[in-house]
Homo-oligomer: A and B are copies of this chain.
Amino acid sequence: MSGTLTVVGLGPGDPRYLTPEANAALTNAQALYGYGPYLDRVPARAGQTRHASDNREERARAAAALNQAAQGAHVAIVSGGDPGVFAMAAAVCEEIEYGPESWRVLDVAFVPGITAMLAVAARIGAPLGHDFCALSLSDNLKPWELIERRLDAAAGAGFVIALHNPVSRARPWQFGNALALLRRHLPPATPVVFGRAVGRPGERVEVTTLGAADGKNADMATLVIVGSRETRIIARPGKSALVYTPRAAVEVNA
């Protein structure tokens, strides 16, 4: 019997975002692996084993799942959002590249999900309506200087910027420094969106500007979208504001 490993994107959290493909992959798995809070979103099924692990144990989790699949089981690893965006899919590929031959010949599949930046953008309008980039502010796995260089390049060239992992307990100053750096490229009126826990209990979406944005308003569950010079805020009487980036861009030199 041949085992399989499927890396499944759960989307932001609420079941209304879970695709039928992801749902089928969860149903068919004999064993589920994942970060505890993500596994808790998946209803229990008789006969299906569950293996929760901690947030920072991606490589060990991937190895354990690959090992069980190589022994013939149908295994799924769950990931919040999309597994391919700052999540489990890369960790699984790393293990496959450097692991035993039996892992390289396994049937492996990746099931996409609604990633956080798409969910936050949908709550507020269309801030990612034109060219944008997605950047992790975590300097656990890359030097801070590289993050600064990427922020400079993206803001200088007019990309909207989705900032993942802005803050953690071990990284208290990085987001504030990133905002200060972006203020050197972009005017104070540039729209900024803070999306916290979007699609989950405790959801909070705030629209502000780069001039007024406070680094203390983000936490581990927050995704931040910093607009370009083209991004606009539409005030609406009696309704929440919309934020969008027009499809046409005219500026060549910032």
List chain A positions with a Cβ less than 8 A from chain B: 9, 11, 15-21, 24, 58, 82-87, 89-94, 96-97, 101, 104-105, 107-108, 110-115, 118-119, 121-123, 125-136, 141-143, 145-146, 149-150, 152-154, 156-159, 232, 234, 236-239, 242, 244-252
Secondary structure dominating the interface of A? mixed
| CB proximity of A105 to chain B, nearest CB, Å | 6
B105 A239 Cβ-Cβ under 8 A:
yes
For A234, the chain B residues whose CB sits under 8 A away are 93, 96-97, 104
| CB proximity of A245 to chain B, nearest CB, Å | 6
Give the residue among A141, A153, A239 with the most B Cβ atoms within 10 A.
Answer: A153
- Please, which residue of chain B has its CB at the minimum distance from the CB of A106? B239
- Please, which residue of chain B has its CB at the minimum distance from the CB of A131? B135
For A96, the chain B residues whose CB sits under 8 A away are 234, 236, 242
| CB proximity of A67 to chain B, nearest CB, Å | 17
